[in-house]
Structures are given as C-alpha cells and as structure tokens.
Structure 1
Amino acid sequence: MTSFAETLRRDNAALWERASSHPFTVELGDGTLADAVMRRYLVQDYQFIFTLTSMAGYGVAKAPTMAGKALLSGFLAALTSAENTYFLRSFDDLGVPAADRTAPDLHPVARSFIQAMADAGAQGSYAEILATLLPAEWIYLDWGLRQAGKAPPRFVHREWIDLHANPAFRAFVQGLRQELDTLAPTLSAADQTRVAARFRTMVELEVAFFDAMYRG
C-alpha cells in the first residue's frame, strides 16, 4: 500500500521531476554553474533559510511527541551551524556584499516561498508544517543524490551537494515522511486537503525558484 507521503509525491510527479533534474542542479554537479547564477541563488536562498528555521521552530512547539520534537530540533541544529557556515563561506568566495547577505531585494518567488513557510509555521497545524517542510527537503535529497557522484572541484558547488546527499540528511527526510504517514490516519478529509495543498504549493515553488534563479 502506498504511504500518504508517497501519494503526495506521486500526485506531483511531473513537477517533482522538473525540480529534481533542473539544469541548475545538473550544472551544479558538473561544476559548470555560472558564478552569477550561484550568487543570485544563494543570496535569495539564505533569506528562505531564515524563515525555514523559524517554521521548524514552530514545528518543534507543535509536535505531539518527543520523537517529532527531536527530529526537528536536530534539523534546526544543522541549519544554524554547518549550513549557515557554508553560506557565509560561499558569500566570501563569491564576493557577495554585506547588504545582499542581510537585506537583499527579494525576488517575487522568494517572497512567495517565505510567505508560504511563515503562514504554515504561525497558522498551520503540525501536519501542515510537515507538508510544507517535507517536499522542500525531499526534493533536495533527490537532486542531491543524483549529483552526489560528480564531486565538482569548487567547494561552493561540492559542499552544497554534500549537505543534501549524506546519510544524516537522508535519515531526516525519512523521519519527516514517517511523521506525516503516522499522522495521516488521524486527519479529516478537510485536513488532508489542506495538507495536500501545502505540499503542492511547495513543489510548485521549488520549480519556480530554480527557474527564476537560473534564468535571472
């Protein structure tokens, strides 16, 4: 029997594949991604990460079990340590000015991403937070694993892949899936509809974000 999380992924299969095999990710793995594209992406994504951290914090507060709280607490620790350090080192390497690190002009897609996460965190249920977080992280695991064997020479490319293609991150995504699958039987039809809508929105935004950052 197909799990609830897997059903949500399959319902968005075409968009999912566009995100996971996007030219941005392929060129990242090949080490051929232009610095201007990588710089634009990281500047916008860092603002996304800031709100993502807040949403995960809401998830810790709303999780009904200690296992769920521990899962998201571990994710918060990674976001605010190794991943944050990667961004700062990459900004230095790519010559990103201070203003663009802290208060850049946001692309409309980045604004939509931030709004979706902020709303899920503050207004959504625990299941809705999971449905917002899971597709974002699962897609990154998917494309990361596809590019993992390439080992591009520059750290700004290689380490971004490594952060999303390692056993710990894989276990985290699996944990999110299990959390959502465990909750699924307790959700009403209306709850499931809201969860599915948040999931699809995030998949749509992943595709739109890669498109926007790649094309400029």
Structure 2
Amino acid sequence: MLNTASYANYKVTHSDETFTDWLVKSAKGSWSRAIAHPFTSEVGNDTISTAAFTRYLIEDYHYVQDLASALGFLIAKAPNMASKARLSEFAHQLTSNEIGYFHRTFIELGIAPEVYESTKPNSVTRSIGATLLSTAGKGHYVDGMATLLASEWIYREWGHREASKPRPGRAYLAEWISFLATDEFGEFIDWLKKEIDTIGEEERVKRQNEISESFTHMCELEGEFFDMVS
C-alpha cells in the first residue's frame, strides 16, 4: 500500500520523486476524477452540448476574475524578483489573451455582456475563488501556489491529453484545447512545480501536510465544478 501519510514516508520508497509528485499521490481519487471527468473528454471530442459549454464559460469567466486577484497577492508575497516577474507574466496573459478568448466566444455563442457580467456564479465557483483568495491572501506563499498549481495543472493535464486527438470541429472548442496544450502554459506549470518543490521540501511536516490539504481541496473543487457545468 502506498504510504503518503507524510512526505518523508513517501520519499523512503520514492526517492526520485518530488514534493509535487507527493501532492498528486496524496490527493488520490480527487486528482484523477478531475482530470478524467467526462466533461473534459466531451470538450475534446466535440460532443459537449452548447448549453453545457456556455454554462462552463460563464462560470469560468467569473473564476478567472478571482484568479487574477489571487495572483496579485502571490506577486506581492513572491520571495524574489524572478518569481514576481513570472507570476506577473501569467497574470498579463490571463487578463489579455484568455479574457479575449472569453469575449470572442461569448459573441459567437450570442451571449450579451449584460448576461455574462450579471450572472451570479454558482456556489462551487464561489468556493474555488474563495479558496484561491484565502490561501493566496491569508496563507503563506507556498499555500497559495499549491492551490494555484492544482487548478492550473489539472487543466494542463486534460488539455494536453485532448490535444493528442483530432481537434473539435467547433472553432471555440479547438482554440480552448490548443491554448491548454501550448508550450508556454506547460512551461508555466513546470515553473510552478519547481517553485513549490523548492519551498515545500524544506517545510516542517505539519506545514507540508497543510499544503497537501490545500492542494487536495482544490482538486476536489475542480471535480465538483465539472459536475456543476455538465
């Protein structure tokens, strides 16, 4: 039986693996459920209903606003200029390219600004935003980073998987898959992992477990988010 009770225990039999590898193993089913959720393959297979993807897009639009605010906290707490710059680059991409995608797709789907701006996010979307803002704003830098990693890494995993298939016929689905599979996004995920590995491995056992709890909780919420919009 895999012993993930602590990072130290895990390293006894997995000496070549990292702190973020342990976070994934500790998350167990919640990580796998989010990545393999039927919603993700339906997007890649072009079988998702327009209504479901519209719900997803509106909810995700509100999530991105909370994510942008959480990045502000993380930029302020980052330990050096290199880390501040890397997070700032991601925040710029999020608030320009990604928001641009949302606006173009809303137009294509016939969703007026007054609709997507005034729609109240679902309770799960609010929980995801609150978790990001709480860990990034009130917690330690590494707690916020672990929560961010869980959310973004899940998207990278399923997006990269779906990108290995023929692209969906609907252009807005194909563009979303292509975005998740870009080298730039993959490089950002790799940087997040390295940042968290460096800090997490040096933390005390209690703190490591707290970081793991934050990571797992976000994985659980992501699975619930896909349930909600499907």
TM-score by length of 2: 0.89
Comparing 38-47 with 191-200, greater Cα deviation is found at 191-200
Aligned to 2:215: 199
Please say if residues 132 and 199 of structure 1, whose CA atoms lie closer than 8 Å, have aligned partners that are also in contact: yes
Q: CA deviation at 1:156?
A: 1.6
Q: Please state whether the residue corresponding to 2:115 is helix, strand or coil.
A: helix
Residue equivalent to 1:27: 42
Q: Flag as ranges the 4+ runs of structure 1 deviating above 3 A.
A: none
> Cα–Cα, structure 1 residues 100 and 193, in superposed 2: closer, same or farther, change >3 Å?
farther
Contiguous gaps of at least 5 residues in structure 1: none
User: Match for residue 210 of structure 1?
Assistant: 226
Q: Secondary structure at the match of 1:59?
A: helix
Pair 1:186 & 2:187 matched: no
Give the Cα separation in 2 of the matches to 1:8 and 1:154: 35
Of 136, 139, 142, the residue aligned with 1:127 is 142
Mark the runs of 5 or more structure 2 residues left unpaired by the alignment: 1-14
Q: State the identity %.
A: 37
Aligned partners of 2:54 and 2:103: how far apart in 1? 12
Encode CA deviations 1:62-82: one digit per residue, 9 max, x unaligned: 010222112211111110111
The root-mean-square deviation of aligned C-alpha atoms, in Å, is 1.2
Quote the residue 1:52 is aligned against. Answer: 67
Instruction: Provide, for residues 65-122 of structure 1, a one-character-per-residue CA deviation record: whole Å limited to 9, x for no partner.
Output: 2221122111111101110100001111112232332131221111111111121222
Q: 1:62 aligns with which of 57, 65, 77?
A: 77
Report the count of equivalent residues: 214
Distance across 2 between alignment mates of 1:25 and 1:160: 11
CA distance in 2, matches of 1:43, 1:28: 15
Question: Highest Rg: 1 or 2?
Answer: 2
Asked whether the equivalents of residues 74 and 137 of structure 2 are also in contact (C-alpha less than 8 Å), the reply is: no
In 2, Cα distance between the equivalents of 1:140 and 1:122?
Answer: 23
Q: Is the 8 A contact 1:60 1:73 kept in 2?
A: yes
